[in-house]
Chains A and B, each alone.
Chain A
Amino acid sequence: MSVKLIIAAAIMAATIGLTQGGAAQAAQTISISAQNFMFSPATITVKAGATVTWVNHDEEPHTIFNDAGLFRSSALDTNDSFSYTFDKPGTYHYVCTIHPRMTGTIIVE
C-alpha cells in the first residue's frame, strides 16, 4: 500500500517536473466553433504542440478536412468534437467536405 503511494507520488512529481521544465506550450488547447456554417475563429495562430479542438454547434453535420491530407474527421453531429495536435510550424488549411464554403486556417509558430 505505502509502496504504491510512493510510486504514485513519484509519477506525479515527474509529470509536474516535465510540465514546468519547458513543455508548457504543450498545454495550449484551442477551441474552434463550427456554427451558422462558419468556423470561428476562421484563422488562428497557435504555438507548436497546441491541440486544436473543433466543436460543431450546428444542427447540420460538419467535417474537418485538411487539403494536404494531414487530418480528416468523420462527420461531426451536433456537439460532437474533433481534436488534432499541431507539432510542426506551418500553415494548415482545412474545409468542411459537406459544406466546402466553410474554410479555416491554423498558423502554427
Chain B
Amino acid sequence: MTDQKLISRRGALKCMAYGGAGTLFALSGGVFTPIDLANAASDPHGTAKLGKPLFVQISDTHIGFNKEANPDVNGTLTRSIALVNGMSEQPGLIIHTGDITHLSKPSEFDTAQQLFSGLRVTEMHTVPGEHDTSDATVTEYFNRFGKASNNKGYYSFDHAGVHFIGLINVLQFKAGGLGTLGTEQLEWVEADLKGRSASTPIVVFAHMPLWSIYEPWGWGTGDAPQLMTYLHRFGSVTVLNGHIHQVVQKVEGNITFHTALSTAYPQPAAGVGGGPGPLKVPAEQLPGMLGVRTVSVVKHPQSMEFTDTTLS
C-alpha cells in the first residue's frame, strides 16, 4: 500500500510539474490515489498491478477553445480518449467534471458529444462547469446532459458498491465570491446519505473545488463546509473536482480531495500571474500538462488506486 501511494504521489507530482492527459483512480487502504494516465500507459506493468479500473475522470475539455495555449483541443481530447481506450481493462464508467465546452455554444456541445462517442466505455456521468452554463438562457448543457438529474444538475448513483454523488456549484454564483451549492442541494445530499452505512465508499464530484484552494481566484465553494459535515462519518470519501487545470490534493480525515488535469490547456499555479487564464507553454511541454485520471479498486472496497496520466 505504501509503495503504491508513493508511486501515485510521484505520478501526481509529475502531473503538476508537466501538465496532463487524464487521471486513473484506485482505492488504496481506503484512500483513492490518482495515477497519471500517461505514466500508466507507458508502464503497462504498473497499471496491471492496479486491478480493475473503477472509473476514469476526464475534465475541462473546453471544446471551442482555439487560442495560442492550445489551438487543437479536439486533437488533445481525441488523444486522451485513445489513452483511455488503450487501457487493457476498460473502466466501468467515465466521469466528466465539467467545462465540457468553452463558450456553451450548441456547436461546441455537438463536437464534444461526437468525440465522446469514440470512447469504448459508453457510460458517462457529467456535472457542468461555469463555461457550460454561460449561454444567456442556461439551457444548452441541460438539454443534453440534464436527464440524469431531472435538470437539477445534482444526482447520485451506485456502481460496484461505491456511492457516487454529482453536484453543481456553478449556478448560484455570488459577486466577488466562490462557487455555491445552495440550501436545496445541500438538503438533498443530507437526505441522500441518510441511512447509508458508514462503510460505503463515497465519491463526490463537482466542477469547482469543494475546498478553498485560492479564494482570490474563486477556487473554492463557499458552502462546502456544510457538505463536509454530512460526509465526515463515512470511512472513505473521495472528492473530485476540475476547474483549475492542474492536480492539487488534500487529505482531511477520511476525506481526500483531488483536482484534475484538463485535456485542453494548463492554468497557472494559484496566484501566479494576473488571473486564472490559459497558461502558454512551449509546444513540446503541453502534452505533459494535459491528461486524464483512472481510479482502480485494488482490494474492493477498501483499497483504491488513482493514476493521473498525461499525453506526453
Contact = CB atoms under 8 A, between A and B. Distances in A.
Interface of A: 36-37, 58-61, 63, 67, 72-75, 77-78, 93, 95, 97-101, 103
Given A75-B135, A98-B130, A101-B216, A60 B176 contact: no
B212 to A, nearest CB: 14
Contacts of B105: 75
B176 A103 contact: yes
B134 A37 contact: no
Nearest to B216: A101
Interface of B: 67-69, 102-105, 130-131, 133-136, 173-178, 216-218, 274-278
A77 B135 CA distance: 12
A99 B218 contact: yes
A93 B176 CA distance: 12
Contacts of B174: 100
A101 B176 contact: yes
Chain B contact residues, majority secondary structure: loop
Given A95-B173, A95-B175, A60 B134 contact: no
Contacts of B178: 100
Most chain A Cβ neighbours within 10 Å, of B68, B102, B134: B134
B103 A75 contact: yes
Contact of A78 (B67, B133, B274, B275): B67
B23 to A, nearest CB: 24
A75 B176 contact: no
Contacts of A63: 134
A77 B107 CA distance: 15
Contacts of A72: 136
Given A78-B67, A98-B134, 10 more contacts: A59-B69, A59-B278, A60-B275, A61-B131, A61-B134, A95-B175, A95-B176, A100-B175, A100-B177, A100-B178
A77 B103 contact: yes
A98 B105 CA distance: 15
A73 B218 CA distance: 21
B278 A60 contact: yes
A98 B243 CA distance: 11
Contacts of A36: 274-275
Nearest to B176: A101
Contacts of A73: 136
A4 B128 CA distance: 56
Contacts of A78: 67
A58 B206 CA distance: 26
A101 B177 contact: yes
Nearest to B130: A98
Contacts of A98: 130-131, 134
Contacts of A58: 275, 277
Contacts of B173: 95, 97, 100
A99 B175 CA distance: 9
Given A37-B274, A74-B135, A75-B104, A97 B218 contact: no
Contacts of A93: 175
A67 B45 CA distance: 54
A95 B218 CA distance: 13
Contacts of A77: 102-103
B299 to A, nearest CB: 42
A67 B177 CA distance: 14
Q: Which A-B residue pairs are the 6 nearest by beta carbons?
A: A75-B134, A37-B275, A100-B173, A75-B103, A95-B175, A60-B277
Given A36-B274, A37-B274, A59-B277, A101 B218 contact: yes
